[in-house]
């Protein structure tokens, strides 16, 4: 179980951005984290993946625990070894390396595991196999997004964190991303999905949280969030 408990985060020693946030991702579950720009979603992901300090942020209260062990003090590489991986933004793939080289770099795992992981990623993304020797910089935007997800999967995560995977994608590609997330989850990986696209996120999530200025204001099964007209209108902007 991945748990964030009563987490408080401060940037630059003074700016309080998370004010006691609690979020739980059960093993193999899908959890949606929603909220307007600036609510603190990315900050929460940074706290889970050990990336706060590079942004001058700090956990001042609460904890992130994995199977009841505190992990928020660990470095990103140590978290990856424990099974917590974040999908990097697509523009952070290595443009001058091939698709396969990018994937191999993602495999923080023993050499004997690389081949089965590659096969698994190619199974999920046949287009990456077709382009395995192509320079990543020449892929389309959608393909680069798939490569970014594939790279995170090379480390065999137990929990995968995604920060707005549908951002800027055409509706057809959003649907594709949705199907990919469901396929990854079906293999047993727990997912924490940060999205502006509430409809997409809640259609695959079991549970949803809505953040507002650093606090959880809603914490409910996804189906309940979607079914409530007031919530749809006031919190999700779905009218």
User: Would you tell me which residues interact with ligand ATP (CB under 6 A)?
Assistant: 11-12, 15, 17, 35, 37-43, 55-56
Distance CA 132, CA 192 (A): 28
Q: Which is nearer to ligand ATP, 33 or 181 (CB)?
A: 33
Distance of CA 76 to the CA centre of its chain: 14
Q: Could you tell me the smallest distance in angstroms from the CB atom of residue 125 to ligand ATP?
A: 26
Q: Least distance (Å) from ligand ATP to the CB of residue 18?
A: 8
Secondary structure of residue 102 in the 3-state scheme: helix
Please state, in angstroms and rounded to a whole number, the distance separating the CA atoms of residues 9 and 200. Answer: 28
109: which DSSP letter?
S
Q: What's the closest the beta carbon of residue 114 comes to ligand ATP, in angstroms?
A: 33
Non-local (6+) Cβ contacts of 196 within 8 A are 34, 164, 166, 167
Closest separation between CB of residue 108 and ligand ATP, Å? 25
Q: Which residues contact 46 (CB under 8 A, 6 or more apart)?
A: 52, 55, 57
Cα–Cα distance measured from residue 143 to residue 130, given in angstroms and rounded to the nearest whole number:
11
Q: Nearest distance from residue 211's CB to ligand ATP, in Å? A: 6
Q: Are 204 and 34 in contact (CB under 8 A)?
A: no
Q: Where are the alpha helices (DSSP H) in 25-73?
A: 41-49
Q: Please identify, using beta-carbon distances, which residue of 21 and 155 lies nearer to ligand ATP.
A: 21
The residue among 9 and 99 lying less far from ligand ATP, judged by its C-beta, is 9
- Which residue number, 64 or 121, has a Cβ lying nearer to ligand ATP? 64
- The two tokens of residue 216 are 């959880």
CB of 91 to ligand ATP, least distance (A): 15
Q: Based on CB atoms, which residue is closest to ligand ATP, 39 or 146?
A: 39
Pick 146 or 194: Cβ nearer ligand ATP: 194
Which pairs with CB-CB distance under 8 Å and at least 24 residues apart come from 223-231? 225/198, 226/199, 226/202
Give the pairing of strands 30-34 and 190-194.
parallel
């Amino acid at each position: 179980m991945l748990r964030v408990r009563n987490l408080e985060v401060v940037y630059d020693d003074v700016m309080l951005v998370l004010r006691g946030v609690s979020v739980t991702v059960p093993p193999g579950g899908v959890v949606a984290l929603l909220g307007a720009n600036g609510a603190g979603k990315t900050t929460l992901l940074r706290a889970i993946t050990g990336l706060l300090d590079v942004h001058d942020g700090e956990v001042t209260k609460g904890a992130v625990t994995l199977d009841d062990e505190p992990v928020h003090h660990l470095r990103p590489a140590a978290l990856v070894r424990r099974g917590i991986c974040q999908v990097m933004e697509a523009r952070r793939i290595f443009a001058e390396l091939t698709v396969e080289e990018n994937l191999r770099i993602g495999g923080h795992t023993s050499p004997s595991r690389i081949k089965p992981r590659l096969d698994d990623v190619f199974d999920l993304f046949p287009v990456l196999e077709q382009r395995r020797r192509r320079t990543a910089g020449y892929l389309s935007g959608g393909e680069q997004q798939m490569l970014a997800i594939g790279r995170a999967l090379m480390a065999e995560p137990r929990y995968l964190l995604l920060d707005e995977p549908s951002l800027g994608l055409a509706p057809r590609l959003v649907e594709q991303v949705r199907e990919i997330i469901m396929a990854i989850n079906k293999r047993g990986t727990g997912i924490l999905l940060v999205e502006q696209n509430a409809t997409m996120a809640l259609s695959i999530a079991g549970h949803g949280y809505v953040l507002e200025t650093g606090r959880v204001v809603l914490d409910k099964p996804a189906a309940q969030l979607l079914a409530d007209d007031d919530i749809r209108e006031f919190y999700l902007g779905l009218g």
